[in-house]
């Protein structure tokens, strides 16, 4: 569904220092954050397979990270 | 998208459009044919989408937000009202938490209305079961400066200066869940409509059906005149007759389904002095609920959809036709004429 909002694209190549910078560079950034810049709570983000919260969150440096995955964690199922 | 033929007996369903989004309200801008949708998603949040090709492709508004100093964040988008013909790029958006936005660029960007956002009575507002939604926006076609909003549970507010300032207009409207049931604010309008041809407001409230002929300064309660109860959500009008209105009662605030297991539209033809059932063609047995945006009217007919996914249209002879069934819960119904 997120890809549908990005004209069908499922992946983007982005150079960024931090996770937050990378996510804000996406054309669907408005669907990831609220107006306070907080990540929507039903999203899980993994950096090279590690939960982003264990890597310093949005401020965490990406360093040599190669892959960021955004996963919708729909609650209530 | 449901396409009907001229006699409204045969319909075709197309879609789904905006797949996966909860469309709380969608409407066609009569000025240019653009389709606007208040689209919400549990993961991706609230937004507004618009389409200029009858739903084939969509463009999202840039992020809609409330100013940081408000301390509020946008919870949901609820209702889109196209602006006046003389302001072709202007649209209004009602949203949760009890806020109104205006766009002057055709829905690309939105700015919060300060008069509503910073209203001095806001502390007396509180959310209903569906949140604190601004779900009704009515522009007075006879006075460019006058408009109305309905907010749950804050009440009805009127602006006489183009939206700069707002006064609560809830006199005589019951809010039985409050310590003072006739307080200035805290009422729970479920849907507010202004008749297009006359200064007459109709309101389906949590506690009754009301009419006002003085711009909301006072209201007359009408549901003691033949309705099975005062609770319901949608209301429909007849653009050619301000004395006519149509409601779909539910059993009560804690029982959101048809009273007696009989889905029925009630019509008044005398300004609410009396109501009569219109059930021909509706199911003999149905415990249905019709949401606040899930009804519409035009010059020729009435239309509504149920939470159980049935869409009904009124045909000649006051007979309802279940035009489409087995849809997901129907959140919004609007009608537009397109020649194909």
Distances (CA, A) of B16 to A24, B34, B84, B142, B290: 29, 18, 30, 38, 20
The answer, for A75 touching chain B at a CB cutoff of 8 Å, is yes
The answer, for A16 touching chain B at a CB cutoff of 8 Å, is no
Q: What was the ipTM of the complex prediction? A: 0.91
Distances (CA, A) of B254 to B133, B191, B214, B257, B309: 19, 18, 32, 9, 21
Q: Is A40 close to B62, i.e. CB distance below 8 A?
A: no
Dist CA B55 CA B124 (whole Å): 40
pLDDT beyond 80 at B3: yes
- Asked if residue A8 belongs to a domain, the reply is yes
pLDDT beyond 80 at B292: yes
The answer, for B73 touching chain A at a CB cutoff of 8 Å, is yes
The share of chain B scoring above pLDDT 90, in percent, equals: 95
Query: B260-297 b/e with 16+ CB inside 10 Å = b?
Result: eebbbbbbbeebbeebeebbeebbeebbbbbbbbbbbb
Q: Which of residues 17-56 of A touch B (CB under 8 A)?
A: 30-36, 40, 42-43
The CATH number linked to A40 is 3.10.20.30
Among the partner-chain residues B43, B64, B68, the one whose CB lies closest to the CB of A43 is B43
DSSP output for B204-266: EETTEEEEESSTTSS-EE-TTTT-S-S-EEEEEEETTEEEEEEEEE-SBTTB-S-GGG---EE
Q: Is A36 close to B73, i.e. CB distance below 8 A?
A: yes
Question: How confident is the model at residue B129, as a pLDDT?
Answer: 87
The answer, for B57 touching chain A at a CB cutoff of 8 Å, is no
Domain ranges (residues) in chain B: 1-118, 145-221, 225-340
Ramachandran sector of residue B95 (left: φ over 0; alpha: ψ -120 to 50; beta: rest): beta
Question: How confident is the model at residue B130, as a pLDDT?
Answer: 87
- Asked if residue A77 belongs to a domain, the reply is no
pLDDT beyond 90 at B339: no
Question: How confident is the model at residue B317, as a pLDDT?
Answer: 87
The answer, for B117 touching chain A at a CB cutoff of 8 Å, is no
pLDDT one-digit tens code per residue, B71-83: 999 999 999 999 9
Dist CA A66 CA A14 (whole Å): 10
Rounded to the nearest angstrom, the minimum Cα separation between B221 and chain A is 40
Name the pLDDT band for B337 (thresholds 50, 70, 90): confident
Question: How confident is the model at residue A73, as a pLDDT?
Answer: 84
- Asked if residue A51 belongs to a domain, the reply is yes
Q: How many domains does chain A have?
A: 1
- Arithmetic mean of pLDDT, B264-283: 97
- Asked if residue A60 belongs to a domain, the reply is yes
Q: What are the residue ranges in chain A where pLDDT is below 70?
A: 74-77
What residue numbers bound the domain in which A14 lies? 3-72
Q: Is A73 close to B65, i.e. CB distance below 8 A?
A: no
């Amino acid at each position: 569904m997120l890809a549908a909002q990005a004209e069908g694209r499922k992946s983007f190549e982005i150079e960024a220092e931090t996770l937050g910078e990378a996510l804000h560079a996406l054309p669907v950034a408005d669907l990831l954050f609220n107006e306070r810049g907080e990540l929507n709570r039903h999203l899980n983000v993994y950096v090279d397979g590690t939960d982003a919260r264990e890597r310093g969150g949005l401020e965490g440096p990406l360093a040599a990270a190669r892959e960021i995955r955004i996963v919708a964690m729909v609650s209530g199922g | 998208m449901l396409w009907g033929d001229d006699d409204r007996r045969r319909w075709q369903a197309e879609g789904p459009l905006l797949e996966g989004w909860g469309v709380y309200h969608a409407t066609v801008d009569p000025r240019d044919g653009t389709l606007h949708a208040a689209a919400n998603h549990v993961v991706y949040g609230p937004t507004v989408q618009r389409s200029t090709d009858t739903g084939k492709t969509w463009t999202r508004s840039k992020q809609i937000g409330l100013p940081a100093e408000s301390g509020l964040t946008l919870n949901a988008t609820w209702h889109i009202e196209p602006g006046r013909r003389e302001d072709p790029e202007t649209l209004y958006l009602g949203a949760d938490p009890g806020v109104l936005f205006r766009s002057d660029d055709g829905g690309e960007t939105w700015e919060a209305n300060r008069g509503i956002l910073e209203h001095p009575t806001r502390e007396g507002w509180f959310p209903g079961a569906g949140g604190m939604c601004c779900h009704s926006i009515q522009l007075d076609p006879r006075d460019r400066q006058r408009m109305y909003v309905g907010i749950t549970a804050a009440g009805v507010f009127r602006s006489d200066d183009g939206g700069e300032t707002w006064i609560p207009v809830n006199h005589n409207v019951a809010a039985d869940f409050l310590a003072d049931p006739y307080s200035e604010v805290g009422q729970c309008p479920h849907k507010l409509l202004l008749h297009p041809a006359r200064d007459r407001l109709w309101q389906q409230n949590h506690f009754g059906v009301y009419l006002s002929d003085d711009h909301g300064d006072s209201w007359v309660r009408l549901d003691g005149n033949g309705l099975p109860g005062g609770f319901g959500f949608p209301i429909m009008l007849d653009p050619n007759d301000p004395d006519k209105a149509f409601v779909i009662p539910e059993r009560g605030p804690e029982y959101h389904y048809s009273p007696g297991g009989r889905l029925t539209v009630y019509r008044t033809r005398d300004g609410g002095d009396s109501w009569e059932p219109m059930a021909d063609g509706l199911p003999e047995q149905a415990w249905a609920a019709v949401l606040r945006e899930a009804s519409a009217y035009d010059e020729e007919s009435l239309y509504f959809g149920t939470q159980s996914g049935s869409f009904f249209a009124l045909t000649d002879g006051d007979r309802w036709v279940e035009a489409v069934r087995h849809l997901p819960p129907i959140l919004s119904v609007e009608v537009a004429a397109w020649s194909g």
